[in-house]
Structures are given as structure tokens and as C-alpha cells.
A and B are shown apart, each in its own frame.
Chain A
Amino acid sequence: MSGLLKSSIGRKFAMALSALFLMFFLLQHFAINILSVFSADAFNEASHFMGTFWAVQYLLQPVLIFGVVFHFVMGFVLEIKNKQARQVSYAKNNGAANSSWMSRNMIYSGLFILIFIVIHFIDFWIPELNVKYIQGDMSGLHNGEFRYFHELQEKFLPMWRVALYCLGFVFLALHLLHGFNSAFQSVGANNKYTKGLKGISKVYAIGLPLGFIFIALFHHFNH
């Protein structure tokens, strides 16, 4: 098994597994975020639970960080290896004739998502780590009230951040439009269900980023 990552198929499989994990994480992230549209209290409760429950913080969070880092590092490694596999490029190449733009530009959509994640971490994750683990305040309170919902609203006040987040989600949609189905193909699932899965993949790849965009816009215009 240790040699698995040395083979092309092993790396492909690992890429797909991290992708499936990240897609599941996105769904969970969305489920909590959408609460903020319906109820500030519910959002606060869920945020506090996720932010303080030991299994989430010390087990799932490290797995998530590993998953994110692995996915983009492996993405770059594969891109470099694949570039090396063709040393003289074609004078004329008609890629659009046989494949989707999304599938040929995963490295660019991925790169933009990576930039987005860095900004997202600076916006939310690093301040959270600072409050909880450096200042040691695990109460989740600010002036006697849960701070999460207010912090969220504040972040989405500046238009530039809302625009940047929306752009990030557009690239996420492009990445998922190829990535969702691709992950299943990579783990070897190509069968009579593949057609149906393609439908689900479109719903997920477009619906989920649209949902995130909706949440960002909602908080920008309702505060």
C-alpha cells in the first residue's frame, strides 16, 4: 500500500478520495451557513458547537486541513508531471472539439480557489484560532451574546469582499462541474448509474456555489 502513491492510478485515486471528502465538507459547511439566513440563533448554536466540540476541533479539523493541503499539492505535482509528458506542444490543438473547458483548466480554477481559501482563512479561520487558542476564550461570547452571527454580518459589509467571494464561488462551480463526476470515475465507478450521477453533479456543482453566493449577498443587503 505504501507504494500506491508512486503509481499514476494510486495518485489519481488519492486525488479523488480527497476530492470526495472536500465535497462532503462543502455540503456540511453550506448546511451550517444557510442557517444564518433563517435564524441567527440556530447559526450561533451550530457555530459554537463546531467551534468548540473536541472531535470537530481536534479530529475532523486536522483531517480537513490535511485534505485541503494534499489536494492542492498533489494537483500541482500532477500538473507538472503531466506537462513533462509532452515536451513539444502542438502548433494547432483543438481541445474544445473533444473535452470541456472546465476539464482542461482544473489547475486554473483550482489556483483561484486556493487564493480564495487563503483569503477566507485570513478572514475567518485565523481570527477564530486567535480568539480560541491564543487568547483562550472558548465562550463564544462577545458582550454577553454569541459573537458568530454578528461577525458574519460584519464581514459581508464591504462590497469588495462580497464580490471576491462571489468570484471564488464561480471558480468553485467551474471546478466542480468537472471534478464531481471525475472523482467517481477515478475511484472506478463508471456504470449504469453514471448518467444519473452526471445530473446530480450539475445540481451540486452549480447549486452549491449559487447557495453560497446567495448567503453572501443576503448578508450584504440585510444587516
Chain B
Amino acid sequence: MGSMNLTLKIWRQKNANDKGKMVDYKVNDISPDMSFLEMLDVLNEQLINNGDEPVAFDHDCREGICGMCSLYINGEAHGPDREVTTCQLHMRMFKDGDTIFIEPFRAKAFPVVKDLIVDRSSFDRIQHAGGFISVNTSGNTIDANATPVNKADADKAFEAATCIGCGACVATCKNSSAMLFVGAKVSQFALLPQGQVEATDRVLNMVKQMDEEGFGNCTNTGACEVECPKGISLENIARMNTEFLKASLKG
């Protein structure tokens, strides 16, 4: 397969207060082996050489681990491929002559900072509300294997813990709900004995913070699970629901 010429429709917005609009760009000679972000790098070099403002987008590790890259590509979070982040998305997923829509993750709780960069600190505040365990590590640290954990539970907790907090679930959800993210963060601890001590407060506080941030309500469309780069299961939302109800009854 040879190189590709593409038309890009990209959301440009100067700052948080700017209204913003979609702008068309052309890029030529894009290799199918490039990652999506490398393609954007090509565009930005082209813009800089022409004396234009480059497109601002989030990225860091570029290997699908940090959760920094985002982008809503052709109507899907992290683009058309499955279980990958935008940085792992290859240009071979597109065809020569394609028009590609590139938009920021949209949600009231994810305000646009500039162009394609959104502020996802609402996720941080949810984590601060309870996404941790309090362990005293001052000199008498307990051996990691001292508390036995059922293998099946450990596996499920681990799967939940693979969430990188990128926000694709929110961006994809027609209701901008953050329940897959919060479900994963609650489950990760709810499944382990170390998480039991603070279980009640954790789920109540995290859900309260989630609601305060202005995320929508989950209607179980399952879109989040499909678009999640880490394949976090809807099971985690169901688990959070049970945890929340149990905690609410306790008071």
C-alpha cells in the first residue's frame, strides 16, 4: 500500500472561551505505517512551516499506557480500531482520499482548553474522593502476600485496574456518563480484602463527586465498553451499583 492523501476536518478553538469551529486541512504522502499522532505531527510541521498555529493535542507516552491522548476520530473515541488508544491507531485503518473528522472529547465535565485538548481533572477529583486505600507504611509494611486473595477476584481487580483514565467512556457515552471509569476505580478495590475497610465511604464519595462534576446518567448502551482502549467491562458498572446500594443502606 502506497502513501495516502487525506482531508482532515479538525476542531480549532483558541482557548476555553473561544467559540471554536471545524477547519479543513490537507495532508499528503501519509504512510499507512504511521500512527495517528505521527500523522498529526506531519500536519503540524506543515502548519509551522507556513507560519500557522499548530493543532494542540494531548499525548505523552505514545504506547497506550499513560491515558493522555484522546481525540474523537470519525465519530468514535480513539478512532475506528478496537482496544487501542489514539497513539496506537495506525493510519492503515484509513484509505487514500478519506476525510477524517477529528474532534475533542465532548462533555460538560471535560471543558476544552485549546483545540483538541480537554481538561480531564474532573477524573482526578473523583479519584481524590476515594480511589485509594489508606495504608500505614511507616516502618511496619505488611508483606504483599500476607493476605490471601482469591485468584478469580484478583484477576477481576487487575482487569479493572488497567483503566488508564483517558475518558473515552465519557466521550463515547451519549449521556456523557463517567460510570465505566468510576465503576472500574471502585471495583479495583471492592474486589480485594485491602479495599474493604473504606469500601462504604469510597463508593459514596466517588459517586457523589462524579455527580457534582456534571457527568450524565448511565443508560446501559454499552458504548463505553466497546470504545474503551483497555476493554473495561460493564460488569464493573453493575458492581459499582451494588456497592453503592449496599453502602447507601448502611448509611
A interface residues, Cβ below 8 angstroms from B:
1, 3-4, 7-13, 78, 81-82, 84-95, 97-100, 103-104, 106, 178, 181-182, 185-191
Contacts and interface: CB of A to CB of B under 8 A. Distances in A.
A12 B226 contact: no
B217 A186 contact: no
Nearest to B240: A9
Nearest to B75: A94
27 contacts: A1-B248, A7-B208, A13-B241, A78-B219, A81-B216, A81-B217, A82-B174, A82-B216, A87-B108, A88-B112, A91-B9, A91-B11, A92-B101, A95-B75, A95-B174, A95-B223, A98-B76, A98-B223, A99-B221, A100-B221, A103-B219, A103-B221, A103-B222, A185-B220, A185-B238, A188-B245, A189-B238
Contacts of A4: 248
A144 to B, nearest CB: 52
A185 B235 CA distance: 8
A12 to B, nearest CB: 6
B189 interface: no
A4 B241 CA distance: 12
B216 A10 contact: no
B240 A85 contact: no
A168 B218 CA distance: 26
A85 B244 contact: no
B36 interface: no
A97 B106 contact: no
B222 A98 contact: yes
A185 to B, nearest CB: 5
A218 to B, nearest CB: 35
B115 interface: no
B22 A91 contact: yes
Contacts of B217: 8, 11-12, 78, 81-82
A182 B74 CA distance: 28
B214 interface: yes
A20 B54 CA distance: 53
A190 B156 CA distance: 13
B126 to A, nearest CB: 12
Residue among A4, A8, A9, A78 having the largest count of chain B Cβ atoms under 10 Å: A9
Nearest to B107: A86
B191 to A, nearest CB: 13
Contact of A99 (B207, B226, B240, B242): B226
A187 B249 CA distance: 14
Residue among B72, B107, B219, B242 having the largest count of chain A Cβ atoms under 10 Å: B219
Interface in B166-220: 172, 174-177, 179, 207-208, 210-211, 214-220
